[in-house]
Amino acid sequence: MYLEIVSPEATLFSGDVTSVTVPGINGEFQLLSNHAPIVSLLQQGKVKIEGNIAIDEAHENKFAKEDGKTILSIGSGTIEMKDNKVIVLAD
Protein backbone atom coordinates (compact mmCIF):
# COMPACT_ATOMS: atom_id res chain seq x y z
CA MET A 1 0.00 0.00 0.00
CA TYR A 2 1.10 3.58 -0.56
CA LEU A 3 1.59 5.97 2.37
CA GLU A 4 1.88 9.73 2.28
CA ILE A 5 2.54 11.76 5.45
CA VAL A 6 1.94 15.48 5.07
CA SER A 7 2.64 18.21 7.65
CA PRO A 8 1.84 21.92 7.31
CA GLU A 9 5.46 22.51 6.27
CA ALA A 10 6.13 19.67 3.83
CA THR A 11 5.46 16.12 2.67
CA LEU A 12 7.49 14.15 5.23
CA PHE A 13 7.22 10.74 3.59
CA SER A 14 5.73 9.09 0.55
CA GLY A 15 6.26 5.52 -0.55
CA ASP A 16 5.17 1.90 -0.36
CA VAL A 17 4.84 0.35 3.11
CA THR A 18 3.72 -2.96 4.66
CA SER A 19 1.64 -1.50 7.50
CA VAL A 20 0.85 1.73 9.34
CA THR A 21 -0.22 1.99 12.99
CA VAL A 22 -1.74 5.29 14.12
CA PRO A 23 -2.99 6.82 17.40
CA GLY A 24 -6.73 7.15 16.73
CA ILE A 25 -8.91 9.17 19.09
CA ASN A 26 -10.52 5.91 20.29
CA GLY A 27 -7.22 4.02 20.50
CA GLU A 28 -4.37 2.84 18.35
CA PHE A 29 -5.22 0.96 15.14
CA GLN A 30 -3.33 -0.62 12.26
CA LEU A 31 -3.88 -0.43 8.51
CA LEU A 32 -2.71 -3.18 6.15
CA SER A 33 -2.96 -3.55 2.38
CA ASN A 34 -6.53 -3.56 1.04
CA HIS A 35 -7.99 -2.18 4.29
CA ALA A 36 -11.56 -0.93 4.05
CA PRO A 37 -11.89 2.81 3.36
CA ILE A 38 -11.70 4.88 6.54
CA VAL A 39 -11.37 8.48 7.70
CA SER A 40 -10.40 9.13 11.32
CA LEU A 41 -9.07 11.83 13.62
CA LEU A 42 -5.71 11.21 15.27
CA GLN A 43 -4.54 12.22 18.72
CA GLN A 44 -1.07 12.83 20.11
CA GLY A 45 1.10 9.74 19.77
CA LYS A 46 3.25 7.76 17.39
CA VAL A 47 2.71 6.82 13.76
CA LYS A 48 4.48 3.46 13.31
CA ILE A 49 5.50 2.45 9.80
CA GLU A 50 6.66 -0.99 8.72
CA GLY A 51 8.33 -1.87 5.44
CA ASN A 52 11.45 -0.97 3.50
CA ILE A 53 11.39 2.73 4.40
CA ALA A 54 13.66 5.37 2.88
CA ILE A 55 13.29 8.77 4.58
CA ASP A 56 14.39 11.92 2.74
CA GLU A 57 17.50 13.43 4.38
CA ALA A 58 15.70 16.74 4.89
CA HIS A 59 13.19 15.06 7.25
CA GLU A 60 15.31 12.33 8.91
CA ASN A 61 15.43 14.25 12.21
CA LYS A 62 11.62 13.92 12.61
CA PHE A 63 11.70 10.10 12.49
CA ALA A 64 13.11 7.47 14.84
CA LYS A 65 13.57 3.69 14.83
CA GLU A 66 11.89 1.55 17.48
CA ASP A 67 11.47 -2.25 17.49
CA GLY A 68 12.28 -2.43 13.77
CA LYS A 69 9.62 0.18 12.93
CA THR A 70 10.01 3.75 11.72
CA ILE A 71 8.33 6.14 14.15
CA LEU A 72 6.96 9.67 13.71
CA SER A 73 5.60 11.49 16.77
CA ILE A 74 2.57 13.67 16.07
CA GLY A 75 0.47 16.11 18.10
CA SER A 76 -2.78 15.47 16.21
CA GLY A 77 -4.02 14.84 12.71
CA THR A 78 -6.32 13.07 10.30
CA ILE A 79 -5.96 9.84 8.35
CA GLU A 80 -7.70 8.66 5.20
CA MET A 81 -7.43 5.18 3.65
CA LYS A 82 -8.91 4.69 0.20
CA ASP A 83 -7.97 2.53 -2.80
CA ASN A 84 -4.91 1.14 -1.00
CA LYS A 85 -3.52 4.64 -0.40
CA VAL A 86 -3.11 6.10 3.10
CA ILE A 87 -2.82 9.85 3.62
CA VAL A 88 -1.84 11.13 7.08
CA LEU A 89 -2.24 14.87 7.68
CA ALA A 90 -0.13 15.43 10.80
CA ASP A 91 0.64 18.33 13.13
Closest listed residue to residue 32, CA positions, set 90, 86, 87, 88: 86
Residue pLDDT, tens place only, 2-28 = 999 999 999 999 999 999 999 999 999
When comparing pLDDT for 37 and 68, which is higher? 37
What is residue 89's predicted lDDT score, i.e. its pLDDT?
98
The structural domains of the chain, with segments of one domain joined by +, span 2-90
CATH number of 2-90: 2.60.15.10
**Is 0.75 topped by the overall pTM?**
yes
Question: What pLDDT is recorded for position 31?
Answer: 97
User: First and final CA of the chain: distance in angstroms?
Assistant: 23
- CB of 62 closer than 8 Å to CB of 56: no
**66-91 average pLDDT score:** 96
Distance CA 63, CA 17 (A): 15
Q: So what's the pLDDT on residue 34?
A: 94
Which pLDDT tens digit goes with each residue over 43-58? 999 999 999 899 999 9
